[in-house]
Structure 1
Amino acid sequence: MATVDDGPLHRSSVGAQPAWHDVRIEAAGSSPDAAVAELSGFYSGHDWAAAPTGQPFAYRYSAVGDGDVTLRRAQFSGAIRGAVPPTDDYIVQWLTAGEGTPDVLHDRVPMVRDVPMLLPTAREFVFEYADHDQRLVHLSRRLVHEVADELFHTGPVDDLGIDHLHPLDPAAIARWRGSLHLLSRELREGSDGGGLVRSTLSRDVVVAFLRMYPPRVVALPAAVYLPRRERLRAAVEYIHEHVTEPLRVADIAAAAGFSVRATQEAFQHSIGRSPLHYLQHVRLQRVRQDLLHADPETSSVREVAHRWGFDHLGRFSAAYRVAFDEYPRVTLRR
């Protein structure tokens, strides 16, 4: 039997206003069919199946929080498997009992007890768990990207380039657990500060998350954050937002409300590069990130370079070597 105050998953876009609605879910039962019907609905899942594992089947799923951060728990006496489509939430999960593999088709990395792992929610994945006690934390894309911009100057990007299999630093895990403990206590007991305290603690959880899983996008230059540099920042942000497109200096200038000459002078004076050289720099950084995380058996330098706007492989390779002191094929084979 399930009780739901509001939908646990919601789509949001970068820059949207926070979805301040309470999320409270309680679902429990002893039927595999009921478990599939209830729990797959929370994740818009498909092809879910559940079955006993030699003992009476039982499940319980609970969640508490709001549209930005929810703390969840899934307890199973039995096995469950299913596909989860892409979602806007970042979801960190770990097991305190049992066993499971978050992605049996691609990564096939089994869970290690009490060690967090980020789910690959940017794409569809198929999970498989059995006789487990699982904790999950859902973080809204809106809040994660807002805090990432504050910490790392990532700008208004759609993708932070986070590696869900990034090796975790034990100190970062400890900070993550500490932030969750404080938020969990606030959600259980409340405080005189009300929503302000909850909001602060939720942001602390996101900060701890980003310390565990740092963004891999190219940060904006520090110069754009100096006083009276709003137009320069607008120009730089425009480049980051349209980095794969065939931009002209006139396009960048128009986005910032500058003349072409003023744009060129502002970039050269504050960033030390012309607008088009800065565009190339951003593209090269994006290519390098992709090559470092690509599978050399299924990816090619040409494919990755073309994805980020490089059409001439020879000129790209030469520019890449100047920037990183190695050829792109060497980066891909690491």
Structure 2
Amino acid sequence: MCVPTLPSQIEFGGHRIAGLRLADCLDVDQSNELSARLFGSARMRRLRAAGSFHFTHDHVPFGPVSFDRMSWGAHTSLVPRTESLSGYYLVTLPIQGAARVRQDSHVHPLTRGAGGVFNPLRSFEIEAFEGFDQLLVRVDAAFLARAWQGISGRPLTAPLFFEHAMPESPALAASWMSLVTLGESVARLPLGSAAREYAQSALAASVASVLLTQHDHNHRFLLQGEVNTAAPRVVRLAEEFMLQRLREPVSVDEVCTASGVSRRSLFAAFQAHHAAGPIAWLRQRRLDAARESLEKPARGDLRVADVALEFGFPHVGEFAAAYGRAFGETPSVTLRRGRPPRARSG
């Protein structure tokens, strides 16, 4: 049984939001096809024979944001056929039951009061146990990037990545409930009316504000008083560790240990603050130190090869090429300019 688009209501926390029923299916294959219309192609399958498979999908469009309610009835897995979401974020707010999500190498549960965020460019899998029901808030990624610039006053230097699990916060739960309340009011307005368009814009802006200011993500430090400092704490710790080892081999794992974060968090922090990874940042600092050494040679017989090896560049040719890209001249030119003129014999 598959029902065509019909009026429906999304019920969440005592609110009933008028929308459309896009799917009402007892067949797994047909459910895959209907779900793909909005969320992209995925592989949906039953994991256990117990329970009755019954896929339902209700949808309420609000411009760059939509509210969707999805349930499967039986114990089901859902794996996107493409590697990740394409161009949008998904916030899941469980209504009842439980599920388990694997995103990258992280696994976290979904239960009522403990939702999560799915990011573009990050693969994920969902295992929904029997009776799991959820409200999904879909947010356009380009819209969220514009909202970030409006809130922070600066463009994104790297994609936004939210922590998968929502923090346990009564204030955050109250914020999402207030957005559902607002959505209920907006859905009552006639589609296409000026009032509906205005209200949808206000709702979308509110959703973006909650995501960007109350959820953990790789750019949030810029909104928390760190913007006036040289760098957020994790970046400062990593920088200090690497600067002390300009002349030594340094691995990413060592930098992670020194700064107390995972590889993913380290790279996210450096991308957000420097628009470059930690090793690329270290390479530039080594080039800066090499330039300083060439500009003021400590001895008259100093060679470019000596400086290259001192600062971790085993191949002089590669060092010269990187140096030229960074400073617009060869290291030998810098060295010649830095040497004092020889005294003429009499």
CA RMSD of aligned residues (A): 4.2
Question: Under a length normalisation based on structure 2, what TM-score does the superposition of the two structures give?
Answer: 0.57
Q: Deviations over 1:132-181 (max 9, x none)?
A: 11110001112212222222234243413432335243212211220222
1:286-297 equivalences in 2 (<5 Å): 293-294=261-262
Structure 2 partner of 1:63: 59
What amino acid sits opposite 2:164 in the alignment?
Answer: H
1:12-51 equivalences in 2 (<5 Å): 26-50=22-46
Query: How far apart, CA to CA, are the structure 2 residues paired with 1:148 and 1:104?
Result: 24
CA contact (8 A) 1:93 1:136 kept: yes
Structure 2 partner of 1:183: 183
SS at 2:109's partner residue? coil
Structure 2 partner of 1:151: 151
Moved more, 133-142 or 30-39: 30-39
> What are structure 1's unaligned runs of at least 5 residues?
6-22, 225-270, 273-277, 317-334
> What are structure 2's unaligned runs of at least 5 residues?
7-18, 240-254, 268-275, 289-346
Query: How far apart, CA to CA, are the structure 1 residues paired with 2:53 and 2:211?
Result: 34
Superposition deviation, residue 315 in structure 1: 9.3
User: Is 1:208–2:198 an aligned residue pair?
Assistant: no
Query: How far apart, CA to CA, are the structure 2 residues paired with 1:109 and 1:73?
Result: 20
Moved more, 75-84 or 46-55: 46-55
1:128-277 equivalences in 2 (<5 Å): 128-130=127-129, 131-165=131-165, 167-190=167-190, 193-217=195-219, 219=222
User: Is 1:76–2:72 an aligned residue pair?
Assistant: yes
CA contact (8 A) 1:52 1:77 kept: no
1:275-290 equivalences in 2 (<5 Å): 284=235
Query: How far apart, CA to CA, are the structure 2 residues paired with 1:189 and 1:53?
Result: 43
1:283-322 equivalences in 2 (<5 Å): 284=235, 293-294=261-262, 305-306=278-279, 308-311=280-283
Alpha-carbon spacing, 1:215–1:51, altered in 2? closer, same or farther (3 Å): closer
Asked which structure has the greater CA Rg, the reply is 2
SS at 2:283's partner residue? coil
Question: Under a length normalisation based on structure 1, what TM-score does the superposition of the two structures give?
Answer: 0.59
SS at 1:155's partner residue? coil
Alpha-carbon spacing, 1:162–1:99, altered in 2? closer, same or farther (3 Å): closer
SS at 1:28's partner residue? strand
Query: How far apart, CA to CA, are the structure 2 residues paired with 1:282 and 1:115?
Result: 28
Structure 1 partner of 2:94: 95
What amino acid sits opposite 2:198 in the alignment?
Answer: L
Alpha-carbon spacing, 1:53–1:77, altered in 2? closer, same or farther (3 Å): farther
Number of aligned residue pairs: 241
Query: How far apart, CA to CA, are the structure 1 residues paired with 2:196 and 2:36?
Result: 32
